[in-house]
């Protein structure tokens, strides 16, 4: 028995929009015609077209500016789960410009969770480095790194708005990062995160948490981050 397959109007509208971008060679930050113009061009009603645009915005292919219209988004950066590569390095290799802004860099008592992750004794001090990381001057993720003070006592001498943390660990402290474990999930931004990432409140974002180890299987960094899903995606290579 054969079933009739019907493409949904919103799916057809998405395909039309994506084809329009390719055919007209639109570049990142180029503006699409207005919703009214697109509806007249293709014969869709406004709700169908708006649903299609909303879906492409959620996928990171388009973005909106209130009062200005809909624009082509930049391509996403792939973060490989099997590579111990810094965010800056991944962005540079994609031909884009990374930036970092240090929000805070404090020396505090380690919590039970941090102490366990870094195999530290109770009441040992830990560095907490909080940064906003971005691509082409757009904020993409908020990253919090925890590192042992006893292992890296002079870490506060370095400006991590300009320097890569992993480069300093390698070149200054002779650390060779070798492996790591992390968990990835989805969460929703709170007000502070929304302001820093320049998104609406309670927007879905990736949440990452994990520990990085050196060549001797000693923990070097425990980290947490939230990342905008419209700018990055995660991939893992499968091998037989």
Residue keyed to tokens 């530290």:
120
**Cβ burial, residue 213 (10 Å; 0-12/13-18/19+):** middle
Which pLDDT score, from 0 to 100, does residue 212 have?
A: 95
Which pLDDT score, from 0 to 100, does residue 1 have?
A: 43
Contact call for residues 128 and 105 (beta carbons, < 8 A): yes
Q: What is the pTM of this model?
A: 0.73
List pLDDT tens digits, range 85-143. 888 888 888 888 899 999 999 999 999 999 999 999 988 999 999 999 999 888 999 99
Mean pLDDT, residues 151-175? 95
Q: Rounded to whole angstroms, how far apart are CA atoms 25 and 99?
A: 28
Token couple for 40: 């007249």
User: What confidence tier does 200 reach under pLDDT thresholds 50, 70, 90?
Assistant: confident
DSSP labels, 8-62: -HHHHHHHHHHHHHHHTT--TTPBPPPHHHHHHHHT--HHHHHHHHHHHHHTTSE
Q: Rounded to whole angstroms, how far apart are CA atoms 238 and 176?
A: 25
| Among 63-77, 97-111, 189-203, the least confident range | 63-77
Mean pLDDT, residues 65-85? 80
Of residues 213 and 28, more confidence is placed in 213
Which pLDDT score, from 0 to 100, does residue 84 have?
A: 77
pLDDT at 60 over 90: no
**Mean pLDDT across the chain:** 89
């Amino acid at each position: 028995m054969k079933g009739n397959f019907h493409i949904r109007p919103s799916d057809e509208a998405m395909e039309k929009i994506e084809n329009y971008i390719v055919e007209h060679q639109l570049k990142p930050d180029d503006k699409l015609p207005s919703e009214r113009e697109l509806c007249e061009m293709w014969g869709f009603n406004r709700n169908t077209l708006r649903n299609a645009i909303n879906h492409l915005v959620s996928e990171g292919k388009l973005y909106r500016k209130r009062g200005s219209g809909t624009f082509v988004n930049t391509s996403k950066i792939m973060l490989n789960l099997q590579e111990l590569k810094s965010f800056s390095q991944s962005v540079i290799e994609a031909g884009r410009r990374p930036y970092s802004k240090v929000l805070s860099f404090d020396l505090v008592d380690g919590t039970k969770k941090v102490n366990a992750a870094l195999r530290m004794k109770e009441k040992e001090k830990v560095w907490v480095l909080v940064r906003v990381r971005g691509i082409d001057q757009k904020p993409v993720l908020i990253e919090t790194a925890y590192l042992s003070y006893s292992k890296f006592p002079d870490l506060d001498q370095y400006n991590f708005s300009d320097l890569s943390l992993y480069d300093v660990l390698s070149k200054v402290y002779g650390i060779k990062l070798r492996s790591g474990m992390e968990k990835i999930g989805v969460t929703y931004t709170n007000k502070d995160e929304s302001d820093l990432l320049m998104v609406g409140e309670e927007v879905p974002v990736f949440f990452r948490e994990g520990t990085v180890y050196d060549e001797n299987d000693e923990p070097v960094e425990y980290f947490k981050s939230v990342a905008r899903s419209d700018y990055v995606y995660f991939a893992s290579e499968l091998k037989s």
